[in-house]
Amino acid sequence: MDRADDELVTDFEAACLTVRTFAIAANFRTAQRLASPSVVAGVVKADAYGIGLTPVAEALLQAGCDTFFVARLEEGIALRTLARRARIFVLDGAQPDMVPALISYNLTPVLNSLAEIAAWSATARTTKTRLDAAVHIDTGMNRLGLAASELKTLAAEHARLLSGLRVVLWMSHLACSDEPDAKMNAVQLERFKTALAMLPEAPASLSASGGILLGKDYLFDMVRPGIALYGGNPQPGFANPFQPVVRLATKIMQVRAAPKGETVGYSATHRLKRPSLLATAALGYADGIFRTLSNSGAVAVNGIKAPIVGRVSMDLLTFDVTDVPGTVAAGQDVELIGETISLDDVATAANTISYEILTSLSRRARRRYEDVP
């Protein structure tokens, strides 16, 4: 059954983002197979990587997912209305103004410093309750998480510092899991093992999507796939075991023949080296199509790649269909992301990562959710 994200239907659809929620469920099951027997938690922060929190969460819940990670408190609150019994971890921690909502919505903060641990422990004492928490240990990202000095203090005084708290997860995060040969992976693994040996026993988690593919040593008790669920390749350059999830398509607005020597688009950045057949489609940077795809990306017409020529503009992009066999005409379908042009192809051409491509897609393209193949 197809489900659109609103009731409005028009004769002309400039662009459509199709989300295969059945593929998200399949990717979750693939992660389970690869990480077995570890628990697989779904990372649905940033509106499920821009795909849409509600349909993604529903698909994951139906697939058996009972543990989720979000970044912002608001994301956790929204998810709680959909997943009433699930464990929901909030990566932003437990800042003072977050505490009432964390407790009210039964959200589990990921504590990132001794100060946060102390504040959450004080809340437990004040409310006379035992509060669950995850604790983030920095093993080399130097972003969030307990620094080495804080870890040493926690290990020496854990009984006092964790008073009133039930640690349900020790976690860290790999910096280079997308590069399986990176030495940093082994360094962080050993640092995490050392940290766990210093601390009270509790479930542990080190790996997100890429870490799942690094081998059994990296799995621990829980893995946290994000981009893998949405069809991105966690280790670009290697075979992707996860199914594509999104297809972004638009329509050709106009086709024209242009002579050799003419230029295309703003600032005349592309000059034709031969007589060419050009097509212009109704999609641009207002839809999340990066301007860096100008003169570097491609679209697919009739299943054949056609290079983007000239600058991507706000509402339009132009591509060269001279070498596309068959008829190319106005109203014809054009694929920006899908079976021919993968999500990672787009990211590479835009000189970025698949995460940024997904989270940048605007809501201007109509969204359609497919829950069956």
Catalytic residues: 45, 266
Plot region of 48 (φ>0 → left; ψ -120 to 50 → alpha; else → beta):
left
Query: For residue 267, with 0-12 CB atoms within 10 Å meaning exposed, 13-18 middle and 19 or more buried, which class applies?
Result: exposed
β-pair partners for 110: 134
Q: Are strands 366-370 and 15-20 parallel, antiparallel or unpaired?
A: parallel
Can you state the angle between helices 148-156 and 114-127, rounded to 10 degrees?
40
Contact of 164 with 124, CB cutoff 8 Å: yes
Could you please report the per-residue DSSP string of 131-189? EEEEEEB-SS--SSSB-HHHHHHHHHSHHHHTTTEEEEEEE---SSTT-TT-HHHHHHH
Rg (CA), the chain: 24
Give the residue carrying structure tokens 């080296």.
273
Query: For residue 204, with 0-12 CB atoms within 10 Å meaning exposed, 13-18 middle and 19 or more buried, which class applies?
Result: buried
Report residue 346 CA to chain centroid gap.
15
Contact of 88 with 168, CB cutoff 8 Å: no
The secondary element (H helix, E strand) that includes residue 252 is strand 246-258
Report how far residue 4's alpha carbon sits from residue 310's, in angstroms, rounded to the nearest whole number. Answer: 33
- What DSSP designation does 81 have? T
Could you please report the per-residue DSSP string of 181-216? T-HHHHHHHHHHHHHHHHS----EEEEEHHHHTT-G
β-pair partners for 276: 258
